[in-house]
Amino acid sequence: MLKRDTPKHDILILGGGPSGLSTALHLAQIAPHLAQASRILILEKEHYPRFKLCAGGLVADAEIILERLGLDVSEVPHVDAERAHFDFNGKGLTVRVPNRHAIRIIHRDEFDSWLAKKTREAGIEIREGVTVKNIIPDQDGVTVETDQGNFHSQIVVGADGSNGATRRCILPNARISTARVLEVITPLEKNGNRPHKGTDAYFDFFPVPNNIAGYVWDFPTQINGEAMRCWGIYDTNLLADEKRPALKTSLAHEMTHHGLNLEDYEIKGHPIRWYNPQNQICVPRVLLVGDAAGADPIFGEGISIALGYGSIAAREISESFQRNEFSFTGYKRRLARSALGQTLYARWMLANLIYPIKWPWFQVLLWRIAKPIVLLVAWTLVLNWSKRIK
Ligand SMILES: Cc1cc2nc3c(=O)[nH]c(=O)nc-3n(C[C@H](O)[C@H](O)[C@H](O)COP(=O)(O)OP(=O)(O)OC[C@H]3O[C@@H](n4cnc5c(N)ncnc54)[C@H](O)[C@@H]3O)c2cc1C
Protein backbone atom coordinates (compact mmCIF):
# COMPACT_ATOMS: atom_id res chain seq x y z
CA MET A 1 0.00 0.00 0.00
CA LEU A 2 1.10 3.55 -0.80
CA LYS A 3 2.58 5.44 2.17
CA ARG A 4 1.77 9.10 2.19
CA ASP A 5 1.01 12.33 4.09
CA THR A 6 -2.38 13.52 5.29
CA PRO A 7 -4.37 15.00 2.37
CA LYS A 8 -3.56 18.73 1.93
CA HIS A 9 -6.71 19.45 -0.04
CA ASP A 10 -10.13 17.90 0.27
CA ILE A 11 -10.97 18.18 -3.42
CA LEU A 12 -8.58 18.07 -6.36
CA ILE A 13 -10.14 19.01 -9.70
CA LEU A 14 -8.01 17.76 -12.61
CA GLY A 15 -8.50 20.05 -15.63
CA GLY A 16 -9.51 23.70 -15.80
CA GLY A 17 -11.91 23.61 -18.76
CA PRO A 18 -15.68 24.33 -18.50
CA SER A 19 -16.48 21.13 -16.57
CA GLY A 20 -13.76 21.53 -13.93
CA LEU A 21 -14.35 25.26 -13.47
CA SER A 22 -18.13 24.76 -13.33
CA THR A 23 -17.73 22.06 -10.64
CA ALA A 24 -15.64 24.50 -8.56
CA LEU A 25 -18.05 27.42 -9.11
CA HIS A 26 -21.07 25.29 -8.18
CA LEU A 27 -19.27 24.09 -5.05
CA ALA A 28 -18.54 27.71 -4.11
CA GLN A 29 -22.25 28.46 -4.59
CA ILE A 30 -23.88 25.52 -2.80
CA ALA A 31 -21.17 24.56 -0.27
CA PRO A 32 -19.12 27.71 0.38
CA HIS A 33 -17.40 26.06 3.38
CA LEU A 34 -15.79 23.59 0.95
CA ALA A 35 -14.52 26.39 -1.28
CA GLN A 36 -12.74 28.12 1.63
CA ALA A 37 -9.30 27.68 3.17
CA SER A 38 -7.71 25.97 0.17
CA ARG A 39 -9.97 22.93 0.46
CA ILE A 40 -10.33 22.86 -3.35
CA LEU A 41 -7.41 22.96 -5.81
CA ILE A 42 -7.66 22.86 -9.61
CA LEU A 43 -4.68 21.46 -11.52
CA GLU A 44 -4.42 22.59 -15.16
CA LYS A 45 -1.62 21.48 -17.47
CA GLU A 46 -1.69 24.60 -19.69
CA HIS A 47 -1.47 28.34 -18.93
CA TYR A 48 -4.48 30.58 -19.61
CA PRO A 49 -5.29 31.76 -22.18
CA ARG A 50 -4.68 28.27 -23.57
CA PHE A 51 -5.72 26.95 -26.97
CA LYS A 52 -8.61 24.47 -27.08
CA LEU A 53 -9.82 23.14 -30.41
CA CYS A 54 -13.55 23.90 -30.41
CA ALA A 55 -16.02 25.84 -32.58
CA GLY A 56 -17.19 27.60 -29.40
CA GLY A 57 -20.95 27.39 -30.13
CA LEU A 58 -22.92 28.07 -26.94
CA VAL A 59 -26.58 27.06 -26.86
CA ALA A 60 -29.01 28.85 -24.55
CA ASP A 61 -28.60 26.17 -21.85
CA ALA A 62 -24.94 27.14 -21.36
CA GLU A 63 -25.89 30.79 -20.87
CA ILE A 64 -28.66 29.84 -18.41
CA ILE A 65 -26.27 27.79 -16.24
CA LEU A 66 -23.76 30.66 -16.23
CA GLU A 67 -26.53 33.13 -15.31
CA ARG A 68 -27.49 30.91 -12.37
CA LEU A 69 -23.88 31.17 -11.22
CA GLY A 70 -24.22 34.97 -11.40
CA LEU A 71 -22.04 35.20 -14.55
CA ASP A 72 -22.72 37.21 -17.69
CA VAL A 73 -21.06 35.59 -20.70
CA SER A 74 -21.67 38.68 -22.82
CA GLU A 75 -18.51 40.04 -21.11
CA VAL A 76 -16.55 37.63 -23.35
CA PRO A 77 -16.00 38.68 -27.00
CA HIS A 78 -18.60 36.80 -29.03
CA VAL A 79 -20.54 36.59 -32.29
CA ASP A 80 -24.24 35.77 -32.31
CA ALA A 81 -25.71 33.56 -35.05
CA GLU A 82 -29.31 34.74 -35.39
CA ARG A 83 -30.38 31.64 -37.30
CA ALA A 84 -29.21 28.03 -37.36
CA HIS A 85 -29.84 25.96 -40.51
CA PHE A 86 -30.12 22.16 -40.31
CA ASP A 87 -29.84 20.93 -43.89
CA PHE A 88 -29.42 17.95 -46.14
CA ASN A 89 -27.50 18.94 -49.27
CA GLY A 90 -28.06 22.65 -48.69
CA LYS A 91 -31.82 22.64 -47.98
CA GLY A 92 -33.73 22.08 -44.76
CA LEU A 93 -34.87 23.59 -41.52
CA THR A 94 -34.13 27.10 -40.23
CA VAL A 95 -34.26 27.71 -36.48
CA ARG A 96 -34.76 31.09 -34.83
CA VAL A 97 -35.13 31.42 -31.07
CA PRO A 98 -37.72 34.02 -30.02
CA ASN A 99 -36.09 37.19 -28.58
CA ARG A 100 -32.57 35.81 -28.64
CA HIS A 101 -29.82 34.45 -30.87
CA ALA A 102 -29.86 30.81 -31.99
CA ILE A 103 -26.20 30.20 -31.03
CA ARG A 104 -23.60 32.45 -29.37
CA ILE A 105 -20.06 31.77 -30.57
CA ILE A 106 -17.11 32.42 -28.30
CA HIS A 107 -13.43 31.69 -28.72
CA ARG A 108 -12.44 29.02 -26.22
CA ASP A 109 -9.14 30.56 -25.13
CA GLU A 110 -11.06 33.73 -24.18
CA PHE A 111 -14.04 31.91 -22.65
CA ASP A 112 -12.00 29.50 -20.53
CA SER A 113 -9.66 32.21 -19.20
CA TRP A 114 -12.68 34.38 -18.33
CA LEU A 115 -14.27 31.43 -16.48
CA ALA A 116 -10.95 30.70 -14.71
CA LYS A 117 -10.78 34.36 -13.60
CA LYS A 118 -14.33 34.12 -12.19
CA THR A 119 -13.37 30.88 -10.39
CA ARG A 120 -10.35 32.56 -8.79
CA GLU A 121 -12.57 35.50 -7.78
CA ALA A 122 -14.78 32.94 -6.00
CA GLY A 123 -11.73 32.10 -3.85
CA ILE A 124 -10.63 28.89 -5.55
CA GLU A 125 -6.98 28.23 -6.33
CA ILE A 126 -5.97 27.11 -9.82
CA ARG A 127 -2.43 25.86 -10.32
CA GLU A 128 -1.42 26.16 -13.99
CA GLY A 129 1.36 24.25 -15.77
CA VAL A 130 0.79 21.02 -13.79
CA THR A 131 0.32 17.85 -15.87
CA VAL A 132 -1.38 14.93 -14.16
CA LYS A 133 0.30 11.60 -14.87
CA ASN A 134 -1.40 9.09 -12.59
CA ILE A 135 -4.32 8.86 -10.15
CA ILE A 136 -4.25 6.29 -7.36
CA PRO A 137 -7.34 6.08 -5.14
CA ASP A 138 -7.34 3.95 -1.98
CA GLN A 139 -9.50 3.70 1.14
CA ASP A 140 -7.93 6.78 2.80
CA GLY A 141 -7.81 9.22 -0.08
CA VAL A 142 -6.35 9.78 -3.54
CA THR A 143 -2.76 10.34 -4.66
CA VAL A 144 -2.34 12.34 -7.85
CA GLU A 145 1.09 12.05 -9.46
CA THR A 146 2.07 15.00 -11.62
CA ASP A 147 5.16 16.43 -13.32
CA GLN A 148 5.36 18.82 -10.33
CA GLY A 149 5.26 16.16 -7.60
CA ASN A 150 2.46 14.33 -5.81
CA PHE A 151 -0.79 15.80 -4.48
CA HIS A 152 -3.11 14.14 -1.98
CA SER A 153 -6.79 14.68 -1.42
CA GLN A 154 -9.96 13.14 -0.06
CA ILE A 155 -11.56 13.04 -3.52
CA VAL A 156 -10.72 13.81 -7.16
CA VAL A 157 -12.86 15.21 -9.96
CA GLY A 158 -11.65 14.09 -13.40
CA ALA A 159 -12.36 17.10 -15.65
CA ASP A 160 -9.48 16.57 -18.06
CA GLY A 161 -11.46 16.19 -21.28
CA SER A 162 -11.71 13.56 -24.01
CA ASN A 163 -8.01 12.64 -23.92
CA GLY A 164 -7.58 13.04 -20.17
CA ALA A 165 -5.59 10.83 -17.81
CA THR A 166 -8.27 10.31 -15.14
CA ARG A 167 -10.56 7.95 -17.01
CA ARG A 168 -7.55 6.00 -18.31
CA CYS A 169 -6.22 5.55 -14.76
CA ILE A 170 -9.42 4.70 -12.90
CA LEU A 171 -11.26 2.74 -15.61
CA PRO A 172 -8.46 1.38 -17.82
CA ASN A 173 -10.55 -1.34 -19.50
CA ALA A 174 -13.82 0.57 -19.88
CA ARG A 175 -15.42 0.78 -23.32
CA ILE A 176 -15.36 4.27 -24.83
CA SER A 177 -17.38 5.89 -27.61
CA THR A 178 -15.42 8.54 -29.44
CA ALA A 179 -16.26 10.86 -32.32
CA ARG A 180 -13.75 12.18 -34.89
CA VAL A 181 -13.78 15.95 -35.45
CA LEU A 182 -11.87 18.28 -37.81
CA GLU A 183 -11.92 22.09 -37.75
CA VAL A 184 -10.72 24.87 -40.09
CA ILE A 185 -10.82 28.68 -39.75
CA THR A 186 -11.36 30.73 -42.92
CA PRO A 187 -11.65 34.47 -43.60
CA LEU A 188 -15.18 35.88 -43.71
CA GLU A 189 -14.89 37.45 -47.15
CA LYS A 190 -14.12 34.00 -48.61
CA ASN A 191 -17.51 32.72 -47.53
CA GLY A 192 -18.58 32.03 -51.08
CA ASN A 193 -22.24 31.80 -51.87
CA ARG A 194 -23.98 31.65 -48.50
CA PRO A 195 -27.25 33.62 -48.62
CA HIS A 196 -26.90 35.13 -45.11
CA LYS A 197 -23.22 35.95 -45.15
CA GLY A 198 -21.53 36.15 -41.81
CA THR A 199 -24.46 35.87 -39.43
CA ASP A 200 -25.95 32.38 -39.73
CA ALA A 201 -24.78 28.96 -38.56
CA TYR A 202 -25.12 25.94 -40.86
CA PHE A 203 -25.20 22.21 -40.14
CA ASP A 204 -25.41 19.90 -43.19
CA PHE A 205 -25.96 16.17 -42.79
CA PHE A 206 -25.04 15.28 -46.41
CA PRO A 207 -22.21 12.89 -45.28
CA VAL A 208 -24.61 10.42 -43.53
CA PRO A 209 -25.40 8.29 -46.64
CA ASN A 210 -21.62 7.86 -47.02
CA ASN A 211 -21.29 6.27 -43.56
CA ILE A 212 -20.17 9.44 -41.80
CA ALA A 213 -22.67 9.62 -38.93
CA GLY A 214 -22.57 13.37 -38.42
CA TYR A 215 -22.49 16.68 -40.25
CA VAL A 216 -20.39 19.50 -41.66
CA TRP A 217 -20.73 22.86 -39.85
CA ASP A 218 -20.03 26.44 -40.88
CA PHE A 219 -20.29 29.05 -38.09
CA PRO A 220 -19.50 32.74 -37.84
CA THR A 221 -16.67 33.38 -35.39
CA GLN A 222 -14.14 36.04 -34.44
CA ILE A 223 -10.43 35.81 -33.77
CA ASN A 224 -8.81 38.79 -32.03
CA GLY A 225 -11.83 40.90 -32.99
CA GLU A 226 -11.69 39.94 -36.68
CA ALA A 227 -14.81 38.32 -38.17
CA MET A 228 -14.02 34.84 -39.55
CA ARG A 229 -15.83 31.58 -40.33
CA CYS A 230 -15.26 28.29 -38.54
CA TRP A 231 -15.80 25.13 -40.63
CA GLY A 232 -15.67 21.57 -39.41
CA ILE A 233 -16.89 18.00 -39.67
CA TYR A 234 -18.20 15.74 -36.89
CA ASP A 235 -18.47 11.94 -37.12
CA THR A 236 -19.84 9.95 -34.18
CA ASN A 237 -18.17 6.83 -35.63
CA LEU A 238 -21.53 5.03 -35.31
CA LEU A 239 -21.30 3.89 -38.95
CA ALA A 240 -17.56 3.21 -38.85
CA ASP A 241 -16.47 0.87 -41.64
CA GLU A 242 -13.75 0.62 -44.23
CA LYS A 243 -16.00 2.12 -46.95
CA ARG A 244 -16.15 5.58 -45.33
CA PRO A 245 -14.43 8.38 -47.21
CA ALA A 246 -11.73 10.26 -45.30
CA LEU A 247 -13.29 12.96 -43.10
CA LYS A 248 -11.16 15.52 -44.90
CA THR A 249 -12.70 14.53 -48.25
CA SER A 250 -16.26 15.27 -47.09
CA LEU A 251 -15.26 18.58 -45.51
CA ALA A 252 -13.33 19.56 -48.67
CA HIS A 253 -16.40 18.66 -50.77
CA GLU A 254 -18.66 21.07 -48.85
CA MET A 255 -16.08 23.86 -48.75
CA THR A 256 -15.46 23.56 -52.51
CA HIS A 257 -19.21 23.89 -53.01
CA HIS A 258 -18.94 27.29 -51.26
CA GLY A 259 -15.89 28.44 -53.20
CA LEU A 260 -13.19 27.48 -50.67
CA ASN A 261 -10.21 25.17 -51.04
CA LEU A 262 -9.57 23.17 -47.88
CA GLU A 263 -5.90 22.77 -48.82
CA ASP A 264 -5.42 26.55 -48.34
CA TYR A 265 -6.14 26.31 -44.59
CA GLU A 266 -4.71 24.61 -41.54
CA ILE A 267 -6.81 21.59 -40.48
CA LYS A 268 -6.89 20.57 -36.83
CA GLY A 269 -8.46 17.46 -35.33
CA HIS A 270 -9.44 16.27 -31.86
CA PRO A 271 -11.69 13.44 -30.61
CA ILE A 272 -14.86 13.97 -28.56
CA ARG A 273 -15.78 11.26 -26.08
CA TRP A 274 -19.55 10.99 -26.04
CA TYR A 275 -22.04 9.81 -23.46
CA ASN A 276 -23.19 6.22 -23.37
CA PRO A 277 -25.53 5.22 -20.52
CA GLN A 278 -23.65 1.93 -20.08
CA ASN A 279 -20.39 3.71 -19.28
CA GLN A 280 -19.06 3.98 -15.74
CA ILE A 281 -18.43 7.54 -14.62
CA CYS A 282 -16.93 7.07 -11.16
CA VAL A 283 -15.08 4.79 -8.77
CA PRO A 284 -14.84 5.31 -5.00
CA ARG A 285 -13.29 8.77 -4.33
CA VAL A 286 -13.07 9.73 -8.04
CA LEU A 287 -15.83 11.04 -10.28
CA LEU A 288 -15.77 12.19 -13.89
CA VAL A 289 -17.36 15.30 -15.42
CA GLY A 290 -17.58 16.87 -18.91
CA ASP A 291 -16.00 15.06 -21.86
CA ALA A 292 -14.27 12.66 -19.45
CA ALA A 293 -17.77 11.40 -18.55
CA GLY A 294 -19.30 11.95 -22.01
CA ALA A 295 -20.56 14.77 -24.26
CA ASP A 296 -23.62 14.90 -26.52
CA PRO A 297 -23.51 12.08 -29.12
CA ILE A 298 -25.66 13.72 -31.83
CA PHE A 299 -23.81 17.01 -32.34
CA GLY A 300 -20.73 16.67 -30.13
CA GLU A 301 -22.11 19.65 -28.24
CA GLY A 302 -20.17 19.66 -25.00
CA ILE A 303 -19.86 23.13 -23.47
CA SER A 304 -23.36 23.40 -21.97
CA ILE A 305 -23.10 19.71 -21.04
CA ALA A 306 -19.74 20.28 -19.28
CA LEU A 307 -21.21 23.23 -17.35
CA GLY A 308 -24.21 21.05 -16.39
CA TYR A 309 -22.02 18.19 -15.13
CA GLY A 310 -20.45 20.74 -12.76
CA SER A 311 -23.80 21.31 -11.08
CA ILE A 312 -24.57 17.58 -10.65
CA ALA A 313 -21.05 16.73 -9.43
CA ALA A 314 -21.01 19.60 -6.92
CA ARG A 315 -24.21 18.32 -5.29
CA GLU A 316 -22.87 14.78 -5.14
CA ILE A 317 -19.60 16.02 -3.60
CA SER A 318 -21.28 18.35 -1.12
CA GLU A 319 -23.53 15.53 0.18
CA SER A 320 -20.64 13.06 0.36
CA PHE A 321 -18.69 15.49 2.59
CA GLN A 322 -21.77 15.88 4.81
CA ARG A 323 -21.89 12.08 5.20
CA ASN A 324 -18.09 11.75 5.26
CA GLU A 325 -18.54 8.87 2.82
CA PHE A 326 -16.93 8.95 -0.64
CA SER A 327 -18.02 5.83 -2.52
CA PHE A 328 -20.02 7.95 -5.03
CA THR A 329 -22.32 4.98 -5.57
CA GLY A 330 -25.23 7.38 -6.21
CA TYR A 331 -23.49 9.65 -8.75
CA LYS A 332 -24.55 7.76 -11.88
CA ARG A 333 -28.14 7.53 -10.63
CA ARG A 334 -28.12 11.24 -9.72
CA LEU A 335 -26.94 12.08 -13.23
CA ALA A 336 -29.49 9.74 -14.87
CA ARG A 337 -32.39 11.30 -12.90
CA SER A 338 -31.29 14.88 -13.58
CA ALA A 339 -32.41 17.02 -16.51
CA LEU A 340 -28.85 16.74 -17.86
CA GLY A 341 -28.92 12.93 -17.67
CA GLN A 342 -32.32 12.88 -19.37
CA THR A 343 -31.17 14.99 -22.30
CA LEU A 344 -27.95 12.95 -22.61
CA TYR A 345 -29.98 9.73 -22.67
CA ALA A 346 -32.43 11.16 -25.23
CA ARG A 347 -29.56 12.37 -27.43
CA TRP A 348 -27.87 8.95 -27.20
CA MET A 349 -31.14 7.25 -28.23
CA LEU A 350 -31.70 9.72 -31.08
CA ALA A 351 -28.14 9.36 -32.39
CA ASN A 352 -28.49 5.56 -32.38
CA LEU A 353 -31.90 5.72 -34.08
CA ILE A 354 -31.28 8.41 -36.69
CA TYR A 355 -27.70 8.00 -37.88
CA PRO A 356 -27.97 4.31 -38.87
CA ILE A 357 -30.80 5.21 -41.31
CA LYS A 358 -28.52 6.17 -44.16
CA TRP A 359 -31.01 6.51 -47.02
CA PRO A 360 -30.94 10.01 -48.53
CA TRP A 361 -34.77 10.10 -48.58
CA PHE A 362 -34.77 9.76 -44.79
CA GLN A 363 -32.51 12.81 -44.42
CA VAL A 364 -34.83 14.71 -46.80
CA LEU A 365 -37.82 13.63 -44.72
CA LEU A 366 -36.12 14.63 -41.47
CA TRP A 367 -34.83 18.08 -42.34
CA ARG A 368 -37.22 19.22 -45.09
CA ILE A 369 -40.60 17.53 -44.51
CA ALA A 370 -40.94 16.54 -40.84
CA LYS A 371 -39.87 20.01 -39.63
CA PRO A 372 -42.57 20.46 -36.92
CA ILE A 373 -41.79 17.03 -35.42
CA VAL A 374 -38.05 17.66 -35.48
CA LEU A 375 -38.52 21.06 -33.83
CA LEU A 376 -40.77 19.57 -31.15
CA VAL A 377 -38.29 16.77 -30.36
CA ALA A 378 -35.39 19.25 -30.27
CA TRP A 379 -37.28 21.69 -28.05
CA THR A 380 -38.41 19.05 -25.55
CA LEU A 381 -35.62 16.44 -25.53
CA VAL A 382 -32.45 18.20 -26.69
CA LEU A 383 -32.74 21.80 -25.50
CA ASN A 384 -34.23 23.58 -22.47
CA TRP A 385 -32.90 21.12 -19.89
CA SER A 386 -30.82 23.61 -17.89
CA LYS A 387 -33.84 25.28 -16.26
CA ARG A 388 -34.75 21.94 -14.66
CA ILE A 389 -31.26 21.06 -13.43
CA LYS A 390 -30.83 20.93 -9.67
C1 LIG B 1 -13.34 20.56 -33.15
C2 LIG B 1 -14.31 20.64 -32.01
C3 LIG B 1 -15.38 21.55 -32.07
C4 LIG B 1 -16.27 21.64 -30.99
N5 LIG B 1 -17.28 22.55 -31.08
C6 LIG B 1 -18.15 22.67 -30.06
C7 LIG B 1 -19.17 23.66 -30.09
O8 LIG B 1 -19.28 24.45 -31.04
N9 LIG B 1 -20.05 23.73 -29.05
C10 LIG B 1 -19.95 22.88 -27.98
O11 LIG B 1 -20.78 22.98 -27.07
N12 LIG B 1 -18.96 21.95 -27.89
C13 LIG B 1 -18.06 21.83 -28.91
N14 LIG B 1 -17.04 20.91 -28.82
C15 LIG B 1 -16.94 20.08 -27.61
C16 LIG B 1 -16.31 20.87 -26.46
O17 LIG B 1 -15.08 21.42 -26.87
C18 LIG B 1 -16.07 19.95 -25.26
O19 LIG B 1 -17.20 19.18 -25.03
C20 LIG B 1 -15.76 20.75 -23.99
O21 LIG B 1 -14.57 21.46 -24.15
C22 LIG B 1 -15.65 19.81 -22.78
O23 LIG B 1 -15.22 20.54 -21.65
P24 LIG B 1 -14.35 19.80 -20.53
O25 LIG B 1 -14.11 20.80 -19.47
O26 LIG B 1 -14.95 18.50 -20.18
O27 LIG B 1 -12.97 19.44 -21.27
P28 LIG B 1 -11.88 20.40 -21.93
O29 LIG B 1 -12.49 21.64 -22.42
O30 LIG B 1 -11.14 19.54 -22.90
O31 LIG B 1 -10.94 20.79 -20.71
C32 LIG B 1 -10.06 19.84 -20.17
C33 LIG B 1 -8.94 20.60 -19.46
O34 LIG B 1 -8.10 19.66 -18.82
C35 LIG B 1 -6.76 19.98 -19.07
N36 LIG B 1 -6.00 18.73 -19.02
C37 LIG B 1 -6.06 17.70 -19.88
N38 LIG B 1 -5.22 16.72 -19.50
C39 LIG B 1 -4.65 17.15 -18.36
C40 LIG B 1 -3.67 16.57 -17.50
N41 LIG B 1 -3.13 15.37 -17.72
N42 LIG B 1 -3.28 17.29 -16.41
C43 LIG B 1 -3.83 18.53 -16.14
N44 LIG B 1 -4.73 19.10 -16.95
C45 LIG B 1 -5.14 18.42 -18.03
C46 LIG B 1 -6.77 20.59 -20.48
O47 LIG B 1 -5.64 21.42 -20.71
C48 LIG B 1 -8.07 21.38 -20.44
O49 LIG B 1 -7.90 22.68 -19.96
C50 LIG B 1 -16.11 20.82 -29.86
C51 LIG B 1 -15.03 19.91 -29.79
C52 LIG B 1 -14.14 19.82 -30.84
C53 LIG B 1 -12.99 18.86 -30.75
Span 113-152, pLDDT tens digits: 999 999 999 999 999 999 999 999 999 999 999 999 999 9
Which pLDDT tens digit goes with each residue over 64-90? 999 999 999 999 999 999 999 999 999
pLDDT band for 386, please (50, 70, 90 cuts): very high
Please tell me the predicted confidence (pLDDT) of residue 3: 46
Residues in contact with ligand 1 by the CB-under-6-Å rule are 14-20, 43-46, 52-57, 131-132, 159-161, 164-165, 181, 183, 232, 270, 272, 290-291, 295, 300-304, 306
* Residue 217 alpha carbon, nearest atom of ligand 1: 8
- What pLDDT score was predicted for residue 247? 95
Each residue's pLDDT tens digit, 198-227: 689 999 999 999 999 999 999 999 998 899
196 pLDDT more than 60: no
* 296-314 mean pLDDT: 97
Mean pLDDT of 1-25: 83
Top mutation candidate among 156, 274, 291 for ligand 1, by most atoms within 8 Å of CB: 291
Q: Which atom of ligand 1 is nearest to the CA of 21?
A: 25
Separation of CA 101 and ligand 1 centre (Å): 23
Nearest ligand 1 atom to the CA of 269 is 1
> What is the average pLDDT score of the chain?
93
* Residue 162 CA to ligand 1 centre (angstroms): 7
pLDDT confidence bin for 197, thresholds 50/70/90: low
Mean predicted confidence (pLDDT) in 365-372? 93
268 Cα to the center of ligand 1, angstroms: 14
| Cα 337 to ligand 1 centroid, rounded to whole Å | 25
Ligand 1 atom nearest the C-alpha of 232 is 1
pLDDT tier, 97 (very low <50, low <70, confident <90, very high otherwise): confident
Could you tell me the distance, in angstroms and rounded to a whole number, from the CA of residue 58 to the centre of ligand 1? Answer: 13
Phi, psi of 364 (to 5 degrees): -65, -45
